[in-house]
Amino acid sequence: MPVALVALHPSVALRPVAAFSRAGVHRYGGVVRWAARAMKVSGNLGDLFPAASLQGDACLIDCADWDHPVGHSYARLDALANACARGLLRRGLTRGRAVAILSANRVEFLIAYLGAMRAGLVAVPVNHRFPPELVAYIAADANIALILHDRASGASLPPQCAAVGFDEEGRHGFAALLDPGPFASVCPRPEDPAMVLYTSGSSGRPKGVLLSHAGQLWSVAHRVQAGAFADQRLLIAAPLFHMNALGTVKFAFASGASVVLLPRFDARRYLAAIRRFQCTWLTGVPTMFALLMREMAACGAADLSFVRHVRMGSAPATEALIAATQVRFPRATIALAYGTTESGPVTFDARGRAKAATALGWPAEGVELRFATAQQEAAGAGLLQIRTPAMMRGYVNLPDQTRAVLSADGWYMTGDIFARAPDGCYSFVGRADDMINCGGENVFPAEVEALLLRHPGIAEAAVVGVADAVKGEKPVAFVVLRPGARLTEADVKAYALANAPAFQHPRRVTFLPELPLAGTNKVDRRALRLRAEGEAATVS
């Protein structure tokens, strides 16, 4: 059964606009109509290139081979996406079937992504770092008809799935699948599914988030309308199976901007790419920039005044990281972004107003925010709920879990704790799931991490909770020191006790050469929690 026919949440599956406020509906319709005028074909998320960029010099530079990067004009990418769409249909795939993409970042990933959607298929980017059993689970859950993959992912392919390799030669390879020629993209209904993004699975099995053409076009066009970006060159190294990078590359395509694509994030290579290609726009998760700051400190000063925009999202950023980034990129505007896979990448807008460095801003036009209860609303702090035109249609094959987070009138429970200032500006406090209840006091890891990172000897910090017979839970910290720093566990505890309430201080401190990262380049808290629990068991 195609993904398009799975049981979905009725409020969003059948009424993609009706659930929103009058302002939100106006913005939704207006932005999508604007997108239809600016893009080649109306209504299909696979048609992102403005007509002007198909005649211009805008390009994508694929650095899969660092020594021999390959540039692709937008006209060439457009033709290849059409060839992919034709080839997928020639294989007999019918509208609504799901096509998985299992690969590190490369141009073929994007050709397959755009081509699948143009053909009326559902694109399913999959974390290529997942173990084979999780890849097999996703293939069954989304009823994948075909997997397009790179050579490194070949060992993870489920045996029952048809597959085409980007690097394979002959009739089973990607080059043979392509069928060059003109193609008129499928014109979907606004609520038709464009793609499924799977969550990280950090709290259980990954959940497939079903996202529509119209909702994602709203997100793309909303960002494009915010300014002129055609003269920018964006550097993307975050994985394309994640909303952060995938949303950014679509925004770049729709803007007519140039893109430099790295296969994965490596701080040294990232810095080299900034210099080599004179990238003006940097984007990624805060952990990537923390690692970049360490690399830049080791390499010495360099003139990076050509960088004009730095955008951090998908995790909280500390004041220390923002300040260090501003020093390294003195002419750049540093912006913090917040979004979820379920509700899309557009949530807040700073609107040029003064705010705290770590604050996110005010609700973007067309986005509605509220707290979960009247008491939280009155207090200006609590669990954030969001309603936006980019809302998911539901979790694939999980109607109960969909109803648990998505109300009948379209409000999504984010699971994130926020605070709202009297002027309406929002700030992230922490994940409700990460909150540590220590003797009746709520400890948010992000707050403790921000405290520890203010210490001049600490480069990185991550805090998790472990069970405690007396307190219920207690915070423990994992710390990476700056080069040359000499700190003991007692030093770190004493600093925390001197600068924050006693209940927040980490009861144990473990020093690491680096923090483990998940596939999305964010800190792997699950791995740290398991390590902390193991260390606690050893001590007891």
Question: Does residue 195 sit in the same domain as residue 255?
Answer: yes
Give the range of the structural domain holding residue 111, as residue numbers without chain letter: 3-264+338-420
Pairing of strands 458-468, 472-481: antiparallel
Q: Is 39 among the domain residues?
A: yes
Query: What is the distance of C-alpha 197 from the center of its chain?
Result: 10
Question: Does residue 410 sit in the same domain as residue 484?
Answer: no
Question: Does residue 62 sit in the same domain as residue 118?
Answer: yes
In sequence order, what E strands does 338-431 have?
A: 348-349, 362-363, 368-371, 381-387, 394-395, 412-420, 426-431
Q: What is the pLDDT of residue 219?
A: 92
Question: Does residue 18 sit in the same domain as residue 103?
Answer: yes
Interatomic CA distance for residues 39 and 45, integer angstroms: 10
Q: What is the pLDDT of residue 539?
A: 61
Q: Is 456 among the domain residues?
A: yes
**Max Cα distance, the chain (Å):** 70
Q: How many domains does the chain have?
A: 2
Question: Does residue 67 sit in the same domain as residue 142?
Answer: yes
Q: Is 279 among the domain residues?
A: no
Q: Is 522 among the domain residues?
A: yes
Q: What is the pLDDT of residue 26?
A: 36
Question: Does residue 106 sit in the same domain as residue 47?
Answer: yes
Question: Looking up tokens 């990460």, which residue turns up?
Answer: 434
Question: Does residue 147 sit in the same domain as residue 185?
Answer: yes
Question: Does residue 199 sit in the same domain as residue 83?
Answer: yes
pTM of the shown model? 0.83
Q: What is the pLDDT of residue 540?
A: 53
Percent helix / strand / coil, the chain, rounded to 5: 35, 25, 40
Q: What is the mean pLDDT of each run of 10 residues along the chain (540 residues)?
A: 40 31 38 47 82 82 95 95 98 96 97 98 95 94 96 93 94 94 91 91 81 93 76 93 91 92 94 94 88 83 87 83 91 91 92 87 94 94 94 94 93 93 92 82 85 92 86 89 92 92 90 87 86 75
Interatomic CA distance for residues 239 and 262, integer angstroms: 9
Question: Does residue 450 sit in the same domain as residue 374?
Answer: no
Question: Does residue 97 sit in the same domain as residue 240?
Answer: yes
Question: Does residue 56 sit in the same domain as residue 81?
Answer: yes
Q: What is the pLDDT of residue 301?
A: 65
> What CATH number is given to the structural domain containing 503?
3.30.300.30
Could you tell me the end-to-end alpha-carbon distance of the chain, in angstroms, rounded to an integer? 51
Question: Looking up tokens 């990078």, which residue turns up?
Answer: 245
Q: What is the pLDDT of residue 7?
A: 37
> What CATH number is given to the structural domain containing 239?
3.40.50.12780
